[in-house]
Structure 1
């Protein structure tokens, strides 16, 4: 069998597009890209990647797809680090501390929870059955531009997930009283990761 592409019109676009301007605030859906390793404290599944050049760096590749507005459908990629070599004064990897704070902000943004809300409902809404619960969440993000290096072009990046306490926060359709999904397997005495307790 031969695939003949001679009659296909050549692509005449340059392949370049205008970046989303720095400090743009938008609603976006989060997608877990997946990886090749599992970190059991975050649940089951290969959602993480690890540094191939030595060191302890581990991250979760994420894709944010803009919902609505002038940039509807555009994508922003992000590496959410959960391990690294540099340690904090609490003897935790600094990358993990930053990653956990970012995950909390993602949850608070998606579930419309103010960071200082310590009510039982807010505490319950911050719980996940596993990291996979992040997949498909719609949240508010602030977008920036990362300068390209080593011949790569500039690209958009996640600056920060915005929560209801942040200026410019765009609320979604989900009300703060909605409960997170309940994984029935955890109801039967399943393991809850330490970070989710």
Structure 2
């Protein structure tokens, strides 16, 4: 008879909930759902459609980049469309705008041409792998248990943004510098094209 010896296996890791309100630098990746609608600008297979409800969303994973909770993962949906009305899609647009402000160091009140350009993306591929400062919240999973989620992005107007994101000189960057650093980091400027879903 064959035996499998588990004596040398690692001990279980504790996965206590990350406290509500914790600010964490996270990397967001989109788990492709294979749903495209060119008329909406949803291409590349990033969007997911729920066949039961008809809702369309981005299925996102957030990995903590550093600190006490490094490598911990959380999952949240970013709404794109709901047959019930525009509210879910509007919440999704608000979240994506805040993610771009956070990732690119843009103050929410900055409406300069450089800042406006930094809030534009060419498609969902531009969000896949983006790093920003997220705020932890809790919600119930399908079994009624609490789980940690990211539902909000922290922008440069927050008092803890610079310290947590590590902005140069200990201060949040201006829109012009952040757009320039975005171009240096990615090798391209934020694209001015605006798909219909981002109107």
Question: Which range, TM-score by smaller chain?
Answer: 0.7 to 0.9
Closer/same/farther in 2, CA of residues 16 and 131 from structure 1, 3 Å limit: same
2:84 paired with 1:86? yes
The aligned residue for residue 9 of structure 1 is 6
- Matches for 1:42-61 after TM superposition, within 5 Å: 42-53=41-52, 55-61=53-59
Uncovered stretches (5+) of structure 2, i.e. residues with no partner: none
2:175 paired with 1:178? no
For these two proteins, the number of residue pairs brought into alignment is 182
Uncovered stretches (5+) of structure 1, i.e. residues with no partner: 88-92
Q: Give the secondary structure class of the aligned counterpart of 1:44.
A: strand
C-alpha distance in 1 between matches for 2:126 and 2:140: 31
Closer/same/farther in 2, CA of residues 38 and 106 from structure 1, 3 Å limit: same
* TM-score normalised by the chain length of structure 2: 0.78
Closer/same/farther in 2, CA of residues 5 and 61 from structure 1, 3 Å limit: farther
Q: Give the secondary structure class of the aligned counterpart of 1:23.
A: coil
Q: Give the secondary structure class of the aligned counterpart of 2:35.
A: coil
The structure with more helix, counted as a fraction of residues: 2
Q: In structure 2, which of residues 108, 116, 125 is the aligned counterpart of residue 115 of structure 1?
A: 108
C-alpha distance in 1 between matches for 2:60 and 2:5: 34
C-alpha distance in 1 between matches for 2:36 and 2:74: 24
Query: Are the equivalent residues in 1 in contact too, given 2:41–2:196 (CA < 8 A)?
Result: no
C-alpha distance in 1 between matches for 2:197 and 2:55: 19
* TM-score normalised by the chain length of structure 1: 0.79
Cα offset for 1:97?
Answer: 0.9
The aligned residue for residue 139 of structure 1 is 132
C-alpha distance in 2 between matches for 1:76 and 1:123: 29
The structure with more strand, counted as a fraction of residues: 2
RMSD over aligned CA atoms reads 2.9
The aligned residue for residue 20 of structure 1 is 18
Query: Are the equivalent residues in 2 in contact too, given 1:164–1:171 (CA < 8 A)?
Result: no
